[in-house]
Amino acid sequence: MKQMKMPGENEQMFHTANRPRKAAPAMPAKSLDALYRQPLAAKRTGALYGAFPYPTKISPEAIALYIVAHTKPGDTVFDGFGGSGTTGLAALLCERPTEELRAEAIRLGLDVQWGARNAVLYELGALGSFVGRTLTNPPDPAAFRKAAEDVLAAGESEDGWMYEARDPSGAKGSLRHLIWSDKLCCPGCRSSVTLWDACVSLDPAEISSTFSCPKCCHEAPMDDVQRVTVQEQDDVLGEQRALRGRAMARVYGSTGKKRWSRPATAADLTLIKKIEAEPIPSCVPQALIPWGDLYRKGYHQGITHVHHFYTRRNLIVFARMWERVESYRGALREGLRFWLLSYNAAHGTIMTRVVAKSGQKDLVVTSAQPGVLYVSGLPVEKNFFAGLRRKLTTIAQAFETIHGGSGKVEVVHGSSCAVALPSGSIDYVFTDPPFGANIPYAELSYINEAWLKIFTDRTDEAIVSPDQGKAIDEYRDLLTQSFSEARRILKPSGKATMVFHSASAEVWNALQRAYQDAGFDVEYAGVLDKKQGSFKQVTTEGAVRGDPVLLLGPRRKAEARIESKTGADECVWTVATALHRAATAAHDPAEATAQRLYSRLVTHFLSHHQQVPLDADVFYRWYAEQPLPGVLCSAGD
């Protein structure tokens, strides 16, 4: 085996990959080392972060530190994968840094000049570009809040009856949320039984994976139990459709300040029947879903159009709210639309769900599962008005944070494979490209885009997608085109910071090939420490926590790209062992985790212009076999 030089006992090898190799940095090396050497915290809190749910977001405060470190006031930042506009928000925050942001720059020893920066963002997604444009160019916060309050008051006055509910004592209250339950066919007695009655218990809360019939006591794995299918008249399409049968399982409401829950009653069923007689507003989109990689034959049964993701009550309420905001114009209307859509798909559809948490007496209500279009067997119907009232406060705070600054942000709804900017016109790039096959953004955004009536052109969507016929080569080619445009518009001395996340060596190597072919190479590398992982980072086997951050600079002609990963293969376990030992010596539990060490392994090989030699799951298996700290064996033992 080819051996590499091992670091000394007091050296932290996971820091060496952060040091500059050949290209001179645009700021003092000491400052760059501080910025990329330590994991930079990226909190998933605050009004700007929470204003709109969007996959794989990075906190704008964290991005602002990179921007302020690499630019000066008046400079222009570019992001070719603009997402929901966080790079633009970060550029604007440089003009009005919070005390916490200033303190973090001081802690890192960054030599920075606070002040307004400008930004140009390209975003292929119709929803992302709408969100980014509205957030970075918000309406007047006071006018927005007044208009939203008026719209909400009108909605509650005219349609609030749809959420009326009686508490257990019979007093009049209002619905907070309602849990619906799939109907199942018992394999034993063939009776129709609700999933709630067969699998759910409270105090403590539990959702069993074993079906237990309350009528005949037959037990069976849930995979062996069939769902009941029913026929329903679709008033939007004017035709019959087959869908999963559902029944009301449990009602949660409030009377005054008192919260309560109870089983569904005849009065609840009477209200549902009354709502069924209400006409569907004409603004409801008749949008056929172009199902792709996220389609599942089971839980998407009967869901062919966007309106099938709603209960009739919530479809009517949301559509009437949409009609009310359409009477406004300009930035104010866009702000109101933003507000409605911020709650819509994540909380207003049947993708909202309940989970059973250890030690809880009752099930916990949560939002739609991020990154998928999952519909559970216990979908939740939330009170739209109550949810929109809560969101109003967060969004108004976000608009207040950004409104009135002197920095300018332009959001272009278009492909970063063809950027309409002059060569050498951009000072700095910060970007967060799509992570291979992780997130099909266009498919996820379709529900909200249907209300905007603007859809994503998926031709240039950089993704590994069997449905779109895009394999790793097509993904790499699209990234190369985008990075080539970024290299073209950058000034000769300009740098690009890129955050990326993948558990696949193949995806990492496609990314490396793309930025190298575009004329970039790695100068520094670090880790962005997301304090709360995304759903897929938390639950997916082999996921990576702590996204590698790469500082890319102009590629020098003398630097030959390593096409073969043979050398990397020969020393990978030596590198892994050295990283493990160094992380243990650092006495930082976060650094010693398998996920963080894989991120360090990735940045090590990319910093040395070598291909990433193995997937995260292979590394994790190796890590699990290592002895406890203090008795670490040498590689190969």
Q: Which residues pair with 194 in a beta bridge?
A: 183
- Burial class, 1, CB count within 10 angstroms (exposed 0-12 / middle 13-18 / buried 19+): exposed
Residues 353-376: what's their mean pLDDT? 95
How far apart are the C-alpha atoms of 107 and 18, rounded to whole Å? Answer: 18
What pLDDT score does 364 carry?
Answer: 97
Average model confidence (pLDDT) across the chain: 89
Helix (H) or strand (E) holding 496: strand 490-499
How far apart are the C-alpha atoms of 132 and 124, rounded to whole Å? Answer: 12
Place 560 in a pLDDT band, splitting at 50, 70 and 90.
Answer: very low
How far apart are the C-alpha atoms of 379 and 248, rounded to whole Å? Answer: 10
Query: How many of the other CB atoms lie within 10 Å of CB of 170?
Result: 8
Residues 143-148: what's their mean pLDDT? 98
Q: For the segment 452-477, what is each residue's pLDDT rounded down to a tens digit?
A: 999 999 999 999 999 999 999 999 99
More reliable by pLDDT, 136 or 558:
136
What pLDDT score does 436 carry?
Answer: 80
Say which DSSP state 414 is in: S
Tokens encoding 111: 């030599």
Q: What is the total residue count of the chain? A: 637
**Cα radius of gyration rounded to whole Å, the chain:** 27
Q: Does the pLDDT value for residue 631 go beyond 60?
A: no
Q: For the segment 505-537, what is each residue's pLDDT rounded down to a tens digit?
A: 999 999 999 999 999 999 999 888 765 433 233
Q: Out of 25-34, 146-155, 450-459, which region has the weakest mean confidence (pLDDT)?
A: 25-34
Q: Does the pLDDT value for residue 31 go beyond 70?
A: no
Query: How many of the other CB atoms lie within 10 Å of CB of 7?
Result: 17
Place 628 in a pLDDT band, splitting at 50, 70 and 90.
Answer: low
Lookup result for tokens 């603009």: 82
Q: What angle do CA 107, 109, 112 make, to 5 degrees?
A: 110
DSSP-assigned letters across all residues of 565-631 = -HHHHHHHHHHHHHHHHHHHHTT-TTTTSHHHHHHHHHHHHHHTT----S-HHHHHHHHHTSPPTTS
Alpha carbon 111 to chain centroid distance?
32
What pLDDT score does 590 carry?
Answer: 84
Q: Out of 105-114, 169-178, 476-485, 512-521, which region has the weakest mean confidence (pLDDT)?
A: 105-114
Place 211 in a pLDDT band, splitting at 50, 70 and 90.
Answer: very high
Task: Say if CB 195 and CB 203 are below 8 A apart.
Answer: no
Residues 216-233: what's their mean pLDDT? 96
Q: Does the pLDDT value for residue 106 go beyond 70?
A: yes
What pLDDT score does 552 carry?
Answer: 96
More reliable by pLDDT, 575 or 630:
575
How far apart are the C-alpha atoms of 524 and 552, rounded to whole Å? Answer: 7
How far apart are the C-alpha atoms of 194 and 296, rounded to whole Å? Answer: 21
What pLDDT score does 531 carry?
Answer: 54
DSSP-assigned letters across all residues of 346-404 = HHSSTT-EEE--TT-SS-EEE-PPTTS----SS-EEE-HHHHHHHHHHHHHHHHHHHTT
What pLDDT score does 88 carry?
Answer: 98
Q: Does the pLDDT value for residue 148 go beyond 80?
A: yes
How far apart are the C-alpha atoms of 199 and 268, rounded to whole Å? Answer: 23
Q: For residue 287, give the nearest of 156, 453, 530 by alpha carbon.
A: 453
Q: What is the dihedral of CA 89, 90, 96, 98, to 10 degrees?
A: 110
Q: Which residues pair with 530 in a beta bridge?
A: 42
Q: For the segment 473-509, what is each residue's pLDDT rounded down to a tens digit?
A: 999 999 999 999 999 999 998 999 999 999 999 999 9
Q: Which residues contact 297 (CB under 8 A, 6 or more apart)?
A: none
Alpha carbon 354 to chain centroid distance?
19
Q: Out of 291-295, 328-332, 417-421, 565-569, which region has the weakest mean confidence (pLDDT)?
A: 565-569
Q: Which residues pair with 259 in a beta bridge?
A: 254
What pLDDT score does 437 carry?
Answer: 77
Q: Which residues contact 122 (CB under 8 A, 6 or more apart)?
A: 78, 79, 80, 81, 82, 412, 414, 415, 416, 419
Write the CA distances from 164 to 156, 322, 385, integer angstroms. Answer: 11, 21, 12
Say which DSSP state 294 is in: T
What pLDDT score does 29 carry?
Answer: 57
Residues 99-122: what's their mean pLDDT? 93
Q: Which residues contact 339 (CB under 8 A, 6 or more apart)?
A: 144, 148, 388, 391, 392, 395
What pLDDT score does 517 carry?
Answer: 97
Strands 192-194 and 172-185: what pairing? antiparallel
Place 27 in a pLDDT band, splitting at 50, 70 and 90.
Answer: low
Task: Say if CB 238 and CB 397 are below 8 A apart.
Answer: no
Q: Which residues contact 596 (CB under 8 A, 6 or more apart)?
A: 39, 527, 545, 546, 583, 590
What pLDDT score does 627 carry?
Answer: 77
What pLDDT score does 35 carry?
Answer: 86
Q: Is the peptide bond before 204 cis (omega within 30 degrees of 0)?
A: yes
How far apart are the C-alpha atoms of 416 and 419, rounded to whole Å? Answer: 6
Tokens encoding 15: 């820091």
pTM: 0.90
